[in-house]
Amino acid sequence: MTPPTTQQTAQPTAHAVHSGRDVRDARDELRRLLLGTGALEPAWVPAFDAVRRSDFLPDVMWPHDMATGRSRTVDKARDPDAWQTYADSDCPIVTQWDDGAHNGPEPGRSFSSSSSMPSLVFSMLADLDVREGQRVLEIGTGTGWNAGLLAHRVGVTGSVVTLDVDGVVATDARAALQRAGLPVRVLHRDGYLGFPERAPYDRIIVTCGVRDIPYAWVEQTAPGGIVLVPWGTYYGPAEATARLVVAEDGRSASGPFTRPVGFMRMRAQRLVRRQHAAYVPPGAMDRADVSATSLPAADLDGFVTGLLVRDVTHVADREREDGRRAVWLYGLSDTSWAAAVFHNGRKQAKVYQSGPRRLWDELEAAHQWWESRGNPGYDRFGLTVDRNGRTRVWLDDPDGLL
């Protein structure tokens, strides 16, 4: 079960950051790049040209390098060329840390609001299939850039409402949208509830990672409308966008996963699990069941694994100096745990399991099932939110059982 391909981050080079001419050209280059990869559809070019990302970014911001996981501080007052070049490059930019509790120019502990990378923004807008005159609800306002692009696209005959759970983020986005002259209603609200006052919507787009899809989003979308939502399991951070089409009776929504993504999590849906020691107290390894596995460590990561092994989260330790690397599974419904200790260069890993569930055995069974179905990737799976509000994952066919 290989991990999904991550969105590549094209970071500006040092040359691009410091040359005035390249700064001017950066936006044209970004347009060419996005058109070349197909992320930017021709129908979205007028919005790309009219609604500039830089108009929505704060003076101090933190472009994020997804390959290294590092963020750097860029201050418009100190280095306006670098600031502008990052604004016009295909990289995600963190705009808030630690739910706003963090102050100062250094990066905080965890990012809590950002401007997503433009290739992802436009790919999702293409999946959303928005037309002029439509009513759109966005959940996760962030900087307001995506809402501004949507407002440009739907025009005066359409309407855009956007919700953010963070009051400061919503206020800043509202101000930026007003300065840009874009008619968007920005509300400080928990997007989990949607916004029934303006329903039904033709489109709902969610720009934070979701683990539990509320039925309210289906109810607030018109029949035939689309709910586009980055969804994943608590197995790990990997997600994919589910493109759900609301049924004619308006009571369910179903559709395939369209692309692998990695969003910051909806606030109330962040994983809070027991500490390691609550699962594995001192001496627990000696009392655990011991077996062996020949599953490759690389196959244990990823979105698809999370679809198949439910109520489990995993942590992969870094490789130690002696070449050993442990992968831990923790049950989320009880304190079952498993660990596989891989040695660099050895085919077999030693497995430890304990608790009411045998999590490693579940993982092996899931892996066998996955191989028996031809090693399907994320794009053969899909989601249905049924008329009872339950979310069901399927393979190939919405009527099929997983």
Ligand X SMILES: C[S@@+](CC[C@H](N)C(=O)[O-])C[C@H]1O[C@@H](n2cnc3c(N)ncnc32)[C@H](O)[C@@H]1O
Cβ-based nearer residue to ligand X, 41 or 319: 41
Interface residue with ligand X among 267, 310, 325, 358 (CB under 6 A) is 267
Task: Determine if the peptide bond prior to 42 is cis (ω within 30°).
Answer: no
Instruction: Between 268 and 365, name the residue whose CB sits nearer to ligand X.
Output: 268
Q: Using the rule CB under 6 A, is 7 a contact of ligand X?
A: no
Nearest CA to 352 out of 298, 293, 291 is that of 291
Out of 4, 12, 140, 158, the only residue in the binding site for ligand X (CB under 6 A) is 140
Q: Considering the rule CB under 6 A, would residue 252 count as an interface residue with ligand X? A: no
- Per rule CB under 6 A, is residue 55 in the interface with ligand X? no
CA distance 121 to 112: 17
Q: Which is nearer to ligand X, 218 or 312 (CB)?
A: 218
Per rule CB under 6 A, count of chain residues that contact ligand X: 27
What DSSP string describes 182-218? --EEEEES-GGG--GGGPPEEEEEE-SBBSS--HHHH
| In the complex, minimum distance from the CB of residue 318 to ligand X, in angstroms, rounded to a whole number | 27
We find the least distance from the C-beta atom of residue 146 to ligand X, in angstroms, to be 3
Min CB(228)–ligand X separation in Å: 12
Phi, psi of 183 (to 5 degrees): -80, 90
Rule CB under 6 A: choose which of 145, 215, 328, 342 binds ligand X: 145
The partner residues of 348 in beta bridges, in order of sequence, read: none
When binding is defined by CB under 6 A, the residue of 51, 120, 136, 169 that contacts ligand X is 169
Residue 139 or 338 with smaller CB distance to ligand X = 139
Query: Which residues, including other chains, have CB under 8 Å from residue 153's CB and lie 6 or more apart?
Result: 43, 44, 47, 125, 130, 131, 132
> Least CB distance from residue 159 to ligand X, whole Å?
17
State whether residue 18 is helix, strand or coil.
helix
Residue 192 sits in the site that holds ligand X (CB under 6 A) = yes
Q: Give the CB-nearest residue to ligand X.
A: 142
Q: Which is nearer to ligand X, 144 or 382 (CB)?
A: 144
Using the contact rule CB under 6 A, the part of the chain among 27-35, 243-251, 258-266, 316-324 near ligand X is 258-266
Query: Among 329, 298, 305, which Cα is nearest to 381's?
Result: 305
| C-beta closer to ligand X: residue 204 or 308 | 204
Stretch of 136-144, 218-226, 244-252, 273-281 contacting ligand X, by CB under 6 A? 136-144
Q: Binding mask 94-133 vs ligand X (x if CB under 6 A, - otherwise)?
A: ------------------xxxxx-----------------
Among residues 158, 157, 156, the alpha carbon closest in space to that of 138 is found at 158
In the complex, minimum distance from the CB of residue 168 to ligand X, in angstroms, rounded to a whole number: 9
E strand residue ranges, 77-194? 93-97, 111-115, 135-139, 159-164, 184-188
Among 88, 164, 202, 239, binds ligand X (CB under 6 A): 164
Looking at the Cβ atoms of 217 and 360, the one nearer to ligand X is 217
Under the criterion CB under 6 A, does residue 228 sit at the interface with ligand X? no
Nearest distance, CB of residue 6 and ligand X, angstroms: 15
**DSSP label at residue 237:** S
Could you tell me whether strands 381-385 and 253-261 are parallel, antiparallel, or unpaired per DSSP bridges? antiparallel
Give Cα 59 distance to the centre of its chain. Answer: 25
Calpha distance 161→225 (Å, rounded): 16
241 binds ligand X (CB under 6 A): no
Contacts of 324 (CB under 8 A, 6+ apart): 341, 342, 343, 344
Q: Annotated active-site positions, please?
A: 116
Query: Closest by alpha carbon to 303, among 339, 263, 269?
Result: 263
Of 7, 146, 258, 391, the residue at the interface with ligand X (CB under 6 A) is 146
| CA separation for the pair 353, 335 (Å, rounded) | 11
* Closer residue to ligand X (CB): 112 or 336: 112
Give the relative orientation of helices 145-154 and 167-179 as an angle to the nearest 10 degrees: 40
Q: Is 177 left (phi over 0), alpha (psi -120 to 50) or beta?
A: alpha
Does 194 help bind ligand X (rule: CB under 6 A)? no
Catalog residues that contact ligand X under the rule CB under 6 A. Answer: 112-116, 139-143, 145-146, 163-166, 169, 190-192, 207-208, 263-264, 266-268
